[in-house]
Amino acid sequence: MKRSIVLLNLLLIAILGAGSYELRRRWLEARAREASLLAVKAIPVPSSPQSNQIAAPAPQKLQSVQYFEVAERFLFSRDRNPNVVIERKPEPPPKVMPNFPSVFGVMDIGMGPTVFMSVDRASQQGYKLGDKIGEFTLVAANQKEITFEWEGKPITKALDDLRAKPHETAAAQAPIERMNSNINNAPPPAPIQRPPENVRPAPGVDIGGGRRGCLPGDSSPAGTVADGYKKVSTNYAFGPICYWESSR
């Protein structure tokens, strides 16, 4: 057994030695071949005089026009149209400016102008600068012209052009005249019924909290006691307050 192991070891050593020798031999051959290739010098090729005089033509630049035919004859889409149609949405019609309000007059007492105007041409109202009347905004006003703002644009109109017509002024005054006529034709007010005098001191109806109110015409002084209640009367800025509270 021991002898076979020794023989096997000797065989392995012989194989390693042969392999090492073969590797070294190939390495030496590669170095020799490399040295022989590096030792060869390149021989320059003489150039002919004609090749130096005639220069090669420069390549032409590509232009997009040359591809039109390719785009029109695209095989995968025979119905292709090279003319592209861009559809645009129709623009909305311009907004129509509404009628200007009717002006009845301009008043300025040192606190800025107040313009009396009407939209429905029936009832008038005072407007300050910056107020809106319909779709317009009052920007400036004087005794000659008025400036409105509509859709972000200033519009100046002469006061005479905006004055209310006579029939519009009459229509605006009609509600006031009807109110005055109603007041004049109203029946006279009913006479004020005064409470009877010399009413016997006594508590009135229950007003909550164990208190009772005072009867009309009760002129008894504060502190009067009647039916188990004591009268309390106090004067405030808004008038006297009178009630009866339990004296028990």
Confidence at residue 27, expressed as pLDDT on a 0 to 100 scale:
92
> Tokens at residue 11, please?
């065989």
Exposure letters 164-185 (e unless 16+ CB within 10 A, then b): beeebbebbeeeeeeeeeeeee
Q: Give the strands of the sheet with 145-150, arranged side by side.
A: 132-133, 136-141, 145-150, 153-158
Q: Are 242 and 230 in contact (CB under 8 A)?
A: no
DSSP state of 217: T
Calpha distance 66→70 (Å, rounded): 8
Calpha distance 217→163 (Å, rounded): 60
pLDDT tens digits for range 95-144: 888 888 888 888 887 778 888 888 876 677 889 899 998 889 999 999 88
Q: Give mean pLDDT, residues 53-73.
A: 70
DSSP assignment of 111-133: S--EEEEESSSSS-EEE-TT-EE
Between 75-79, 177-181, 201-205, the lowest mean confidence (pLDDT) is in 177-181
Calpha distance 7→15 (Å, rounded): 13
Calpha distance 119→46 (Å, rounded): 104
Between 36-45, 63-72, 108-117, the lowest mean confidence (pLDDT) is in 63-72
What is the chain's mean pLDDT, rounded? 76
Q: Rounded to 10 degrees, what is the CA torsion of 120, 121, 127, 132? A: 30
Indicate the pLDDT class of residue 82, thresholds 50, 70 and 90.
low
28 phi and psi angles, rounded to 5 deg:
-65, -40
Q: Which residue has the higher pLDDT, 244 or 209?
A: 244
The count of C-alpha atoms lying within 13 angstroms of the C-alpha of 178, restricted to the half-sphere facing its C-beta, is 6
Indicate the pLDDT class of residue 237, thresholds 50, 70 and 90.
very low
Confidence at residue 136, expressed as pLDDT on a 0 to 100 scale:
92
Confidence at residue 166, expressed as pLDDT on a 0 to 100 scale:
63
Residue (of 218, 206, 199, 191) closest to 245 by Cα position: 206
The percentage of residues in the chain with a pLDDT greater than 70, rounded to a whole number, is 67
Calpha distance 188→191 (Å, rounded): 9
Confidence at residue 215, expressed as pLDDT on a 0 to 100 scale:
80
Confidence at residue 75, expressed as pLDDT on a 0 to 100 scale:
55
Calpha distance 205→222 (Å, rounded): 18
Would you give the end-to-end CA distance of the chain in angstroms?
138
Domains in the chain and their CATH numbers? Answer: 102-166 (2.30.30.830), 203-246 (no CATH)
11 phi and psi angles, rounded to 5 deg:
-65, -40
pLDDT tens digits for range 146-176: 999 998 899 999 988 888 766 555 555 554 4
